[in-house]
Every structure is written in C-alpha cells, then in structure tokens.
Amino acid sequence: MIRQLQMSLLLAGAMSASVAGAETRQKPGLWETTIRVDMGDSMPQIPPEMLEQMRGAGFKLPFAEPIVHRMCLLPEQVTQDAIPEFSDPESGCTTRDTRRTGDEFNGRIACNGQLRGEGTLRMQLTSPETYSGTTDFSGVAENNLPVEVRTDFAGRWLAAECGDVPPMGS
C-alpha cells in the first residue's frame, strides 16, 4: 500500500517534469529514479544490529533500502504543453494544483482510497539530465492507522534508448 503511494508520487513528479516553455526540459529516453522513504513515527524503529541480522537472513525490508525505478520518457511526453494529471487506481492518489515556476514544481497530493490524506510534492529540475525532490504525506491507512511518509527522490538520465522499459504511463 505504501509502495503504491511511493510509485504514485514518483510518477506524478516525473510526469510533471515534462512541460514545454520552461527553462529546462528533460531529455527523452531512459531515466532512473532513486527514492528514499522516511516513515517517521508511522513505522516502529528497528535497531541497526537487528536490521543487519534480518538482512543477513535474507529478509527484504521495505523502506530500509532505497527504491530504484526505471522509466522511459518519449520525445512527445517531453514536449507536451500541459502538466499531465496522474492518478493511480490502486492507491487512490492524485496530484492537484501542480504548477511550475522556472525549474521548480510544486503540487498537492490527495489520496482517497486505501490511503486517505493529503500531502505536498516539490521537485527541482537541476539539468536536462537530473532532477530531485521531496514528497510529504499525512493521512490514515486501512483500519485508520496513522501514516506519515516523507520521500526524497532523485532522477538521472541514463540513455537515449529505453530498451525493454515501457513508456511512462503505459
């Protein structure tokens, strides 16, 4: 469920970055984004030595390691005239009020599905080949469990050809 929120936020940020008429425009092609998640008090803290034991035993721990995601931006996605609306039916999250000022993006996140709550999206295009940003989300999950999530993400362009990575949004 939180992974769905992360992917919603990641894709919303990446899709927001392809707007015509601004100072910096992303290069089309293969991109890689690294996401680091901080659940704050929403997730019990595990002592570092226990984390190492669990990793050694082969456990994959959500949020203990960065999430790396590859996506393909087509030339037409990079040159479109409007910031696309992104929604994820699985998480029920959408971006709203997204605006670009120069190379900075800001927007609101609204979730009304498995997760319910609101948050913010901030992103900076640092060059045609890099971007970084943060999201902050506050709400509740199923069974009214409180959720506080902060993600820090950074993207980098890898290649002009996407190989077998499908275009974003498909």
Answer with the residue of higher pLDDT: 142 or 30.
Answer: 30
- Examine residue 49 and state whether it is found in any structural domain, yes or no: yes
The larger pLDDT score, comparing residue 53 to residue 133, is at 133
Q: Is residue 123 part of a domain?
A: yes
Residue of 68 and 13 predicted with greater confidence: 68
Amino acid at 5: L
Residues of the chain above pLDDT 70, percent: 68
Report how far apart the first and last C-alpha atoms of the chain are (Å, whole number): 21
Distance CA 115, CA 142 (A): 7
Q: What is the pLDDT of residue 19?
A: 44
150: nearest Cα among 130, 120, 116, 123: 120
Q: What is the DSSP string of 24-41?
A: --PPSEEEEEEEEEE-GG
User: What's the domain count of the chain?
Assistant: 1
pLDDT value at residue 127: 92
CA distances from 23 to 36, 57, 104, 150 (A): 27, 49, 10, 28
Specify the higher pLDDT residue, 100 or 64.
100
- Report the pLDDT value the prediction gives residue 38, as an integer from 0 to 100: 83
In a domain, 167, yes or no: no
- The answer to whether residue 57 is domain-embedded is yes
The C-alpha atoms of residue 74 and residue 95 are separated, in whole angstroms, by 21
CATH, residue 142:
2.40.128
Q: Is residue 134 situated within a structural domain? A: yes
Q: Report pLDDT for 129.
A: 95
Residue 169 domain-assigned (yes or no): no
**How big, in percent rounded to 5, are the helix, strand and coil portions of the chain?**
20, 45, 35
Task: Establish if 39 belongs to a structural domain.
Answer: yes
Residues 122-164: pLDDT tens digits?
999 899 999 999 999 999 988 888 888 888 999 999 999 999 9
pLDDT in tens, 85-94: 555 667 788 8
The pLDDT of residue 52 is 73
Q: Is residue 67 pLDDT above 70, yes or no? A: yes
Q: Which domain holds residue 121?
A: 2-159
